[in-house]
């Protein structure tokens, strides 16, 4: 159909960070689970001889160290309580362990001296603080330190609430690739492209959502390189995380369902609308049932139509939202009011614009009252964090000819949108019965408002704050 609405990819520039020496030699300083504090007023003490614990406690009291046993632990040591007047001061949670130092150095001086005293007491094998360990919420992926967007989204704290539990995010995009840092999180998807010319795989719809490349000459006469756009988006949602390879995704346990709706020169709304319904587990004529329906649909796609939301889109969106599925869409990269960009201007969606590393709206991000909130789209023309790379979003990619996989920085509302989808998946993981209306309300209430002047034309409620969103989600009945 000639008049089919063609949908463009919502990305701007791309700068590659290949697996070169400079990147691969960076070490992640947070890979180990470190003690982050101590339980105030508690120690663990082991006596050299078993059987005379009471006698030793009395001797210690005579020496001015009043300890009262709480319980004996499995190895015969004692968890004990001490008080200020025992000669030990009560220490605090949340110790600031300096690089190269230890948690002992971070204890207050009085406690350190007292531990030292106890450890010299002849009947004591050892005494140590009752450390508090946190989950290793900071992942060990090789290039995590270049993923500035993750700490800025407050992800490490959010991962203490949830790292995902097999919630499926449908990514309606250019399809999937065999990037080794993505494959573990895929579930079966579909190739929705009916037009073999767009599909480029010699047929119409089929069950293989592999991205065979979307490059070529389009109606505008321009020759486009393969974008591997879906691969980059997939990685932001839920690249394989904490596997020491590559980068981390927003969800560790989240699953990705690739629904290929964009091919050479874009994709048609008819295919995309079918993809929306199929993603949610609804029946689509001529298609098999979706065995693993999605709870979240990510659409890092759109086009500036200058008109209202097309009915075809709105009906599909309303149908899936009624089934409890949350639809997250990119606001678009036109630097215009999102009211003219679809599906950003549809009802019942979460529309995401893009801010840069400095928490300011990007030059390209669409704006206005249709925008729900912002996440990080980045700006590859700047290096404000001085890491030697343009400040885009680092994720999975391939060389244009598809011969080499690597990691690359890209910018766009396409990159901001999957950050929101990834956090929404964690919300569903925490509360599987959460409704799309509750998701939207929580995202808005938990967003960090932008500073005055950072987005004068409207970025919704502010910037995505993953930890706060999950805190509010956890508080739901």
Q: Does 191 bind Ca ion (CB under 5 A)?
A: yes
Report the SS3 class of residue 4.
coil
From 190, 175, 421, select the one nearest 287 (Cα to Cα): 190
Give min distance, CB of 284 to Ca ion, in A: 15
Helix (H, G, I), strand (E, B) or coil at 57: helix
Within 10 Å of residue 101's Cβ, how many Cβ atoms? 10
Question: Nearest CA to 265 among 304, 297, 231, 225?
Answer: 225
Per CB under 5 A, which region of 215-223, 238-246, 270-278, 450-458 contacts Ca ion?
Answer: 238-246
Q: Which of residues 382-411 bind Ca ion (CB under 5 A)?
A: 383, 385, 387, 389, 391
b/e map of 2-19 (b: 16 or more CB within 10 Å)?
A: eeebebbbbbbebeebee
Residue 83 vs 203, nearer CB to Ca ion: 203
> Which pair of tokens denotes residue 345?
């201007």
Residue 271 as a binder of Ca ion (CB under 5 A): the answer is no
Shortest spacing between CB 59 and Ca ion, in angstroms: 54
Our CB check for Ca ion shows the closer of 303 and 392 to be: 392
Q: Closest approach of Cβ 164 to Ca ion, in Å?
A: 14
Establish if 303 lies at the interface with Ca ion (CB under 5 A).
Answer: no
CB of 7 to Ca ion, least distance (A): 17
Name the residue nearer to Ca ion (CB basis): 182 or 329: 182
Query: Both tokens of residue 470?
Result: 């999950």
Q: What is the rounded distance in angstroms from the CA atom of residue 89 to the CA atom of residue 185?
A: 48
Helix (H) or strand (E) holding 54: helix 53-62
What is residue 399's three-state secondary structure? coil
User: Measured from the CB atom, is 4 or 39 closer to Ca ion?
Assistant: 4
**By CB under 5 A, residue 199 contacts Ca ion:** yes
Contact between 15 and Ca ion per CB under 5 A:
no
For the chain, give me the number of helices (H) and strands (E)?
A: 13, 19
Residue among 10, 11, 198, 240 that touches Ca ion (CB under 5 A): 240
Give the range of 232-240, 299-307, 368-376, 464-472 binding Ca ion by CB under 5 A.
Answer: 232-240
Other C-beta atoms lying within 10 Å of the C-beta of residue 452: 7
Indicate which residues carry an active-site annotation: 173, 229, 414
Per-residue binding letters, 168-187, with Ca ion (x by CB under 5 A): -------------x------
Q: Write the DSSP symbol of residue 301.
A: E
Query: Per CB under 5 A, which of residues 327..386 are in contact with Ca ion?
Result: 383, 385
- Residue closer to Ca ion by CB (options 355, 442) is 355
418 binds Ca ion (CB under 5 A): no
In whole angstroms, the minimum distance from the beta carbon of 472 to Ca ion comes to 28
How many residues of this chain interact with Ca ion, rule: CB under 5 A? 16
In the bound state with Ca ion, the residue whose beta carbon lies nearer, of 205 and 440, is: 205
For residue 1, give Cα distances in angstroms to 6, 95, 129, 271, 272.
11, 64, 72, 12, 15
Nearer CB in complex with Ca ion: 128/245: 245
Question: Site for Ca ion (CB under 5 A): which residue of 246, 293, 377, 460?
Answer: 246
Nearest-5° Cα angle at 274, 272 to 280: 105
Burial 126-162 (b: 16+ CB within 10 A, else e): ebbbbebeeeebbbbbbbbbbbbbbebbbbbbbbebb
In whole angstroms, how close is the CB of 194 to Ca ion at the nearest point? 9
Give the pairing of strands 350-355 and 326-330.
parallel
Q: How far is the CB of 148 from Ca ion (least distance, A)?
A: 7
Among positions 132-161, residues that touch Ca ion (CB under 5 A) are 141
Residues that bind Ca ion (CB under 5 A): 141, 181, 191, 199, 201, 203, 206, 240, 243, 245-246, 383, 385, 387, 389, 391
């Amino acid at each position: 159909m000639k008049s089919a609405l063609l949908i463009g990819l919502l990305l701007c520039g791309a700068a590659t960070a290949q697996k070169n020496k400079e990147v691969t030699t960076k070490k992640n300083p947070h890979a180990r689970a470190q003690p982050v504090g101590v339980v105030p007023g508690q120690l663990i003490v082991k006596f050299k001889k078993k059987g005379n614990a009471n006698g030793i406690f009395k001797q210690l009291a005579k020496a001015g160290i009043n300890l009262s046993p709480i319980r004996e632990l499995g190895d015969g040591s004692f968890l004990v309580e001490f008080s200020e007047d025992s000669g030990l001061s009560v220490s605090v949670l949340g110790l600031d362990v300096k690089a190269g130092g230890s948690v002992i150095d971070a204890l207050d001086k009085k406690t350190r001296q007292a531990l030292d005293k106890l450890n010299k007491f002849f009947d004591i094998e050892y005494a140590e603080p009752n450390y508090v360990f946190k989950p290793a919420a900071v992942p060990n992926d090789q290039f995590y330190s270049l993923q500035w967007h993750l700490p800025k989204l407050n992800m490490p704290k959010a991962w203490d609430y949830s790292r995902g539990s097999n919630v499926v995010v449908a990514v309606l995009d250019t399809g999937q690739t065999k990037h080794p840092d993505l494959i573990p999180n895929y579930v079966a998807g579909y190739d929705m492209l009916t037009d073999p010319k767009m599909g480029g795989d010699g047929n119409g719809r089929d069950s293989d959502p592999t991205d065979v490349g979307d490059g070529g000459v389009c109606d505008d006469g321009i020759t486009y390189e393969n974008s591997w756009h879906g691969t980059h988006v997939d990685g932001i949602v839920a690249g394989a995380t904490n596997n020491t390879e590559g980068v981390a995704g927003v969800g560790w346990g989240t699953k990705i369902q690739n629904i290929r709706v964009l091919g050479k020169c874009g994709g048609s709304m008819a295919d995309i609308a079918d993809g929306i319904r199929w993603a949610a587990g609804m029946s689509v004529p001529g298609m098999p049932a979706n065995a693993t329906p999605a709870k979240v649909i990510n659409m890092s796609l759109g086009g500036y139509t200058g008109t209202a939301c097309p009915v075809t889109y709105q009906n599909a969106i309303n149908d899936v939202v009624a089934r409890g599925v949350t639809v997250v869409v990119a606001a678009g990269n036109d630097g215009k009011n999102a009211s003219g960009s679809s599906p950003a201007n549809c009802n019942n969606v979460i529309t995401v614009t893009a801010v840069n590393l400095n928490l300011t709206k990007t030059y390209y991000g669409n704006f206005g009252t249709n925008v729900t909130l912002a996440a990080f789209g980045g700006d590859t023309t700047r290096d404000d964090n001085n890491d030697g790379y343009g400040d885009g979003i680092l994720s999975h990619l391939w060389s244009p000819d598809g011969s080499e996989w690597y990691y690359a920085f890209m910018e766009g509302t396409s990159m901001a949108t999957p950050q929101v989808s990834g956090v929404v998946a964690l919300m569903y993981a925490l509360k599987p019965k959460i409704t799309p209306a509750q998701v939207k309300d929580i995202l808005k209430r938990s967003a960090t408002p932008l500073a005055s002047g950072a987005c004068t034309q409207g970025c919704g409620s502010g910037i995505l704050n993953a930890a706060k969103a999950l805190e509010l989600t956890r508080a739901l009945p």
